[in-house]
A and B are shown apart, each in its own frame.
Chain A
Amino acid sequence: MDVIPSLDLLGGRVVRLTHGDFATVKTYGEPEVVLDSLGVPDGSRLHVVDLEASRSGRPVETGIVEQLAKRDLVVQIGGGIRTVDDARRWFDCGAARVVVGTVAAESPALLEELADTFGAARIVPAVDIRDGVIRVAGWQREAGATLAEVFARFEALQIPEALVTDISHDGVLRGPSFALYRMLAEKTKTRIIASGGVSTVNDTVSLSRHRNISGCVIGKALLERRIDLRDARARVSVPNAIPERVIPCLDVRDGRVVKGVNFTNIRDAGDPVECARRYEEEGADEIVILDISATDANRETALKTVRRVAGSLFIPLTVGGGVRTIEDFRALLRAGADRVAINTAAIRDPELIAACAREFGVQAVVLSCDAKRDGDRWLATVRSGKELTGIDAVEWCRRAEQLGAGEILLTSVDRDGTNSGFEIDLLRAVTSVLRIGVIASGGAGRLEHFLDAIECGGARAVLAASLFHDHVLTVGDVKAFLAGEGIPVR
């Protein structure tokens, strides 16, 4: 998949408009200076929009396109192209392709003439979609033709690629419209250049897993430095082979697996060894044990449980609950845990993370963060979500990474036990600022939730408890579903 920088031009400068409104123009500078600052190498494909041309209906920024073409950039240019002569003018300036919007949906005869005159591969139809319906004329009205009709036309003309923007996702940095692209994969063989909402490197990785997507254009997120172009290109060029993990969680109390919404009405759900072994057989990639009764008084019971489970598994085991000191941490590793999750004690003494990373290695340290929404941010909580701290959860996860945590177990306190889906905004906020992996926890209820947490949330692992204990879904069900949607699993 090609990661394509997108530049909107107005008055010879790179700009951004908010929701297409010329009153909201924000200027970023001269195109070549901007390209250099973004690290766009020669030979790159570049998506350029001539905003004045789209308003006036005549090519305007022809001089700039000439300069860019001379730099060996493969320019696809759009903006108010309504005649064969408009397109010719851009090709004469050195553009490699022209992007046509309204024409593509509204003027089949002209689209055919463009394809015949310049070659179908040099025409990129742009389709803007809201709620499954094509919008034209600056998104102001519905197109006369349906999605199916328009794409059938592209296929008949042998146009290889179409630029597809989900209007509701454009410029709001909440992730691309994966569902739309999945729907199109079933409707058309035309390859898709995804546009709109791409705001993290993970978004580009997730798009690259869609087999019908040949490229994605990125504008705002590059200009605002949320995405590093080289980083994104490196990440999408590696093979899609590192499996995402599915992790059952055993909440253990006094040596028994328990379940209950928000830790009230707790019910017995079986023996931890039997549960863990069953999950390994079903294909679990790791087991998490959270011992909710791990106080000093019954620490020995907790360690015994860990020894029993660890001694029956051949997959990694992560254990958390009541870890206060480096000695607690060591005792759990000795009992057979591969990794130990710290929560409350790390908030009270962040140095504990660094001390454990030094003593046992980064790979052994998991920070468990229970986050609760507070207005437009999230606060870290302690004591299983019962006590709010004043600490910003996203900042706290970032700090934990710096201190030496190897992974974050991120639980949405608001979603936990609700089966209403993982909290995607929280996941995006955390995964977009970390290099280490995040395990999504809290809210899993349906197969699609797991996909969403990985694809849109950027999680590297998904965790659920009651869903698996209650046999609503098996680990195998989740992995088969993810594999079917193009997510690599073991």
Chain B
Amino acid sequence: MQVTLIDSPVANTANIARALRTAGADLHITREAEAIRTAEKLVLPGVGSFAAAMRWLIDMRIDAAIRDAVDAGAALLGICVGHQLLFEASSEMGMTRGLGLVPGEVRIFEGRLPVPQIGWNRVAARGPLFAGVEDAVFYFVNSYAATHALHEIASADYGGAFTAAVQKDRVFGVQFHPEKSSAAGLRVLRNYIQWT
């Protein structure tokens, strides 16, 4: 199954590429807006700064290409900051606009636990992305998250509930790192790759 991985410099693309290949993807890695616009199955990775990642998408005109692809029926999976970019905005650095593909906003954790969250966390999940996952524990590295998102398909608790994954039609997002989540993470990637 062909998967197009968006080669963002604000991401750990190499690790995600290796995990996607292990999970069975026939991988195409690109920064070309045109290739992204015509793709059928996209993966948008991201680590670090929401604003920097969004800035790169806009500068490369990839933001519009992603929206066009989704409008044309492509599937999309956002990972970590890539997941956050799917929302309307993030409170990082004032307020930064996102892709707006799923409703909701991303905000900094406000509990009493140390930020960033670094480590494994148990999620309550449902839907095709998590089919066959035996123990839904995934690896997270994040300071920001959506809470009670409208299209939430997985939630977890870090000093308060937060959205661990979303699905709106053909657009998916996971706040955790499937490429660092051992068998459970690879299963999620395989489910996305095989999803139709």
Contacts and interface: CB of A to CB of B under 8 A. Distances in A.
A242 B158 contact: yes
Contacts of B48: 361
A160 interface: no
Interface in B132-191: 135, 137, 139, 141, 156-160, 179-183, 185-186
B182 A234 contact: no
A242 B18 contact: no
A79 interface: no
Nearest to B183: A314
Interface string A471-490: 00000000000000000101
B181 to A, nearest CB: 7
Given A311-B18, A315-B139, A231 B118 contact: no
B56 interface: no
A297 interface: no
A490 B19 contact: no
Contact of A243 (B19, B137, B160, B180): B137
10 contacts: A234-B159, A238-B160, A314-B181, A316-B180, A336-B15, A362-B116, A437-B118, A488-B122, A490-B120, A490-B135
Contacts of B19: 314
B159 A437 contact: no
Of A235, A238, A362, A490, most buried by chain B (CB within 10 Å of CB) is: A490
B190 to A, nearest CB: 12
Nearest to A406: B118
A317 B1 CA distance: 29
Nearest to B136: A490
Contact of B120 (A231, A234, A242): A242
A316 B112 CA distance: 25
A336 B13 CA distance: 11
Contacts of B181: 314-315
Given A314-B182, A316-B180, A242 B116 contact: no
Contact of A285 (B15, B47, B120): B120
A363 interface: yes
A234 B110 CA distance: 12
Contact of B180 (A231, A238, A315): A315
Contact of A437 (B119, B157, B185): B119
B159 to A, nearest CB: 6
Interface of B: 14-15, 18-19, 22, 47-48, 111-112, 114, 116, 118-122, 135, 137, 139, 141, 156-160, 179-183, 185-186
B141 A363 contact: yes
Interface string A416-435: 00000000000000000001
A314 B48 CA distance: 20
B118 A245 contact: no
Contacts of B15: 310, 336
B52 to A, nearest CB: 12
Given A239-B157, A338-B180, A435-B114, A316 B139 contact: yes
A434 to B, nearest CB: 9
Contacts, number: 70
Nearest to B157: A239
Interface in A282-311: 285, 310-311
A310 B111 CA distance: 33
A457 B49 CA distance: 34
Interface residues on chain A, size class: 20 to 34
A238 B22 contact: no
Contacts of B118: 363, 406-407, 437
Interface of A: 231, 234-235, 238-239, 241-243, 245, 280, 285, 310-311, 314-316, 336, 338, 361-363, 406-407, 435-437, 460, 488, 490
Contact of B112 (A235, A362, A488): A235
Given A314-B179, A315-B182, A336-B15, A245 B120 contact: yes
Given A363-B118, A406-B116, 17 more contacts: A234-B112, A238-B111, A242-B121, A243-B120, A243-B121, A245-B119, A314-B180, A314-B181, A314-B182, A314-B183, A314-B185, A315-B181, A316-B139, A336-B14, A406-B118, A407-B118, A437-B118
A361 B80 CA distance: 15
A314 B183 CA distance: 8
A242 B122 contact: yes
Contacts of B180: 314-316, 338
A22 B141 CA distance: 52
Nearest to B158: A242
A131 to B, nearest CB: 37
Contacts of B121: 241-243
A403 B139 CA distance: 25
B156 A314 contact: no
A435 B112 CA distance: 9
Closest 10 CB pairs of A and B: A241-B122, A490-B137, A435-B114, A243-B120, A363-B141, A363-B118, A234-B112, A314-B182, A436-B114, A239-B157
A436 B81 CA distance: 22
Contacts of A231: 112
A275 B160 CA distance: 37
A490 B182 CA distance: 11
Contacts of A338: 180
A339 B121 CA distance: 18
A362 B48 CA distance: 10
Nearest to B18: A311
Contact of A363 (B116, B156, B157, B186): B116
A315 B118 CA distance: 13
A315 B18 CA distance: 13
A361 B111 CA distance: 20
B124 to A, nearest CB: 9
Nearest to B185: A314
Contacts of B157: 238-239, 241-242
